Each structure stands twice: as C-alpha cells, then as structure tokens.
Structure 1
C-alpha cells in the first residue's frame, strides 16, 4: 500500500478514537484527532499528485474516509445532543444517496465520474468546519445556540450538494440508457 492510501487508512482508524474521545467528553483531544485527520486528508492528496501515486483504491477510499469521519461525527454529536438530529439525518442521507447512486451506476454498467465537484468539496469543508466549531464550543462550554446560523448554512449547502449530485447522476444514467 502506498503512502497516500496508508494516510487514508490512518484517517479511517482515527474514527473510533475520535468517537471514544467525544463520548468521554474529551473535547480537546477530539479536536486534536480532527486536526490530525484533516492533516492526513490534505497530505494524502498532495503526496498522491506530487509523487504520482494516484490509485483507484485511493479514489474510492479517500472520499469514503471523509464520509465516515463526518457522518460518524455528526451521529455522535447528535446522540450527545450537541447538534440537532435533523442535521445528522441530512448529512447521512446525502452520503447514503451518493453511495446508492454509485452502486446503481455500477450495476447498470453506467460510466460515472466519481470525482467530487467544487460544491461537493465545499460541502465537505463546511461540514468539517461545523464539526470543529461544535466540538470547540463544547470544549469551552460556550452557548451552542450561537452556532445555529452555521448549522442552517451547513444544512442548506448539504441539501444543495445532495440535489446537485442526484441530478447529475440521473442525467448520466438516463443518457447512457438512451
């Protein structure tokens, strides 16, 4: 396994550590794990491009690691009543829809481009920023309602991104069957 894919695997292995730290309300350590995960996410992409180590496995694992970290983070924060359940359902539904869309494309033998769009990357960024903000506020025992505008913004961007990917996939699948 090359270095970029190893970094991605490390990010996946950090997920249970992150969840455990949140469950024990070790928010500062959870923030450190999020920082390390973000760093490995940045580094794996840079190394893959610079060292020409892009692989099909990496193309699948990297976004999967992002989705697992974010969705698991939101589920954990919802269980802890730090973010509203509707937001977690929105994040998880979008990611589930993306995975189901990829499966449908695979089984219908439709060629799809699984590379993320600018909107998709922006959604991941705002979701990560929201996780960081919530965990930071919880660590400092700050009023979480202050983050409501960010939560609504993130929800809107997540919904928009999900609809964008859904329409893009629908067009590709229906045009390939024509």
Structure 2
C-alpha cells in the first residue's frame, strides 16, 4: 500500500513551469522515488511549487516496515530450519541409539551363547573324562607273585647254564615250570586271585624265561642258532605288539609313569590256542635239550625233531596273532 500523502494548494497563481514541477514532485512522492534531500528541497521551495507537503515520513516508515518484516521472516526461516535440523539430528541420534542398543543386545546374546556353549563343552569333557575308567586292581596276588618270581629267577637260570651246572639249571627250570602251572590253576580256581594284569604278566614272564634259556642253551651248543633266532624274533614281535596295545589303550594323559604303572589296567590279553601249544612245546624242547648233557643223548634225532616242531609252532603262533589280532586283546573301557 502506498503511503498516504496530503497536499494543499497555495492561493496564488502558478506558472506553467511551477505547475510542471509540482506534478513531477507529486509523482515522485506518490511512487516513493527520491530521498530526504529531494523532500527537503521541495519543502524549501514549496511556495514556488504551489504545494505544501503534509507528511513525507511515510516513505521511510514503509521502508523500515519492509526491512523489519524481512528480518522477521528471515528469523522465522532460520528458527524453522534450526528446529528441523535439531529434529533431524534427534531423529538420527534416536535411530543410531536404537541400532547401537540392538547391536549391544545381540552381542550380549552371542557372548552369553558362547559362554554357555563353552560351559557345556567343559561339562561334557569332564563327564567323558570321568567316564574313562582308570581301573586299578590289586596285583599283589599269589599268581602274580609266582609270575614275578619266575621272571626274577630266569636270569639266574641262564647264568647257571652258561656256567655249565646243568643239574642245578634243570632243578631251577623245574621250579619255574611248577610255578607256571600253579599260577594258572590258582587264577582259574579262585576268581578273586585272577587279575587282568596277570593276562599280560604271565605270557611276558614266559617269553622272558624262554628267551634267556634259548640264548643260554645256544651259548652252550645245546640249541642251533637258527632255532634261537626264530624264537627270539617271535618274542620281540609279541613284545612290540604288547607295547603298542598298551600305548593305544592308555587314556590321556599318556605319560611314562602311567604307561609303566602296572596297576593301571587298560587292556586284557587273550592268547590263542596255538600260542599255548607253542609255549608248552618250547618249554619241553628246552627241558629235553638241557637234559641232553646230563643223560648223554646229545645230537639225538629226537632232539632234531623237537627243534623243527618248535620252529613250526613258533611261526604258527606268530601268524595266529596277526590273523586273529582283533580277538587276542580287548581294550578295557568303563561300562555305562
């Protein structure tokens, strides 16, 4: 809206120039053109123009009003923009906080699941370890004492044979044979005297005795070297197989002390029938060969037949352990 401007005409005649100037001045003030200097000039020469200005301050007031409205509009826009910025920032912060809270919650759930799984695994490991039987038994039984005594006596019998005291050696061999028969009979008649460790100790003691005797007889030229080699090879094979079975059947931790602990039973040996026959044939051959210098039948054909029979049964026993390896031993485990 244009500012209201009132004019009053002076009662005096005006010329054409003055009338033209008054019209121009009026148009200038009506359309808001010009400044304060121009207005002052008009006021100064108002008598010449024939018009008197009532209020020329409305132009400046309108301009001040427009600047104030523009500033107010700008402030409103700035305030609105700032408000929307804060709202957007709060919105994004809320989204970020929500995502962070969800991530933390999922992480906590995952950590709890991992801890629970680890706890379950530890419990299962402890349960499995508890299920493993470290079966310990009393090995101080009569059959085992007889077996250990026979093993201790074996080196002395070999020493006596090397010294040429065949009569003493025959007596000690008879004692060893009797102890071998007694420990088996006692273990079968009285189950409380039977031990799983004895299933390993008894054949090992027999092999130890036979190995020492064949070496001693070969040293005294009472057994051929080829038969001694066959018997020793079979015994070394059985000793290596027994050691491997012991290591395989031993539950963790596999230490040397636990490996050598005979009270910690992990497997039971079941000798084959041909092996039992071979043990009897070997002991008979050793006894008859040891009696040859006593009763003077050295290099008798019967001795040669016994040697070949011993070699054949020895090889057959070794082969039976290889063929029936799944039946010759049993790993002991805890029953559920």
For CA contacts below 8 A with separation 6 or more, give which structure has more relative contact order: 1
Q: Which residue of 1 aligns with 2:175?
A: 36
| 1:76 shift after superposition | 0.9
Q: Which residue of 1 aligns with 2:318?
A: 162
Deviations 1:104-161 (A, max 9, x none): 3344449976211110000000000000010011222322243111101111111111
Q: Which residue of 1 aligns with 2:294?
A: 139
> Helix, strand or coil for the counterpart of 1:144?
coil
User: How many residues are aligned here?
Assistant: 173
> Compared with structure 1, are the counterparts of its residues 54 and 172 closer, same or farther at alpha carbon in structure 2 (3 Å cutoff)?
closer
Gap runs ≥5 in structure 1: 174-178
Q: Is the 8 A contact 1:18 1:34 kept in 2?
A: yes
> Helix, strand or coil for the counterpart of 2:157?
helix
Q: Which residue of 1 aligns with 2:244?
A: 104
Matched, 1:50 2:189: yes
| 1:32 shift after superposition | 1.1
Q: Larger Cα Rg: Structure 1 or Structure 2?
A: 2
Q: TM-score, normalised by structure 2?
A: 0.48
In 2, distance between residues paired with 1:171 and 1:41?
24
In 1, distance between residues paired with 2:199 and 2:313?
23
Counterpart pick for 1:73 among 213, 226, 239: 213
Q: Is the 8 A contact 1:94 1:162 kept in 2?
A: yes
Q: Which residue of 1 aligns with 2:281?
A: 126
Q: TM-score, normalised by structure 1?
A: 0.88
Counterpart pick for 1:93 among 225, 233, 242: 233
> Compared with structure 1, are the counterparts of its residues 106 and 14 closer, same or farther at alpha carbon in structure 2 (3 Å cutoff)?
closer
Deviations 1:71-118 (A, max 9, x none): 110011112221111111111111111122223334444997621111
Q: What RMSD, in angstroms, separates the aligned Cα atoms of the two structures?
A: 2.2
In 2, distance between residues paired with 1:65 and 1:103?
15
Once superposed, which parts of structure 1, at least 4 consecutive aligned residues long, lie more than 3 Å away? 105-113, 170-173
| 1:57 shift after superposition | 2.3
| 1:167 shift after superposition | 2.2
| 1:172 shift after superposition | 8.5
Q: Is the 8 A contact 2:150 2:179 kept in 1?
A: yes
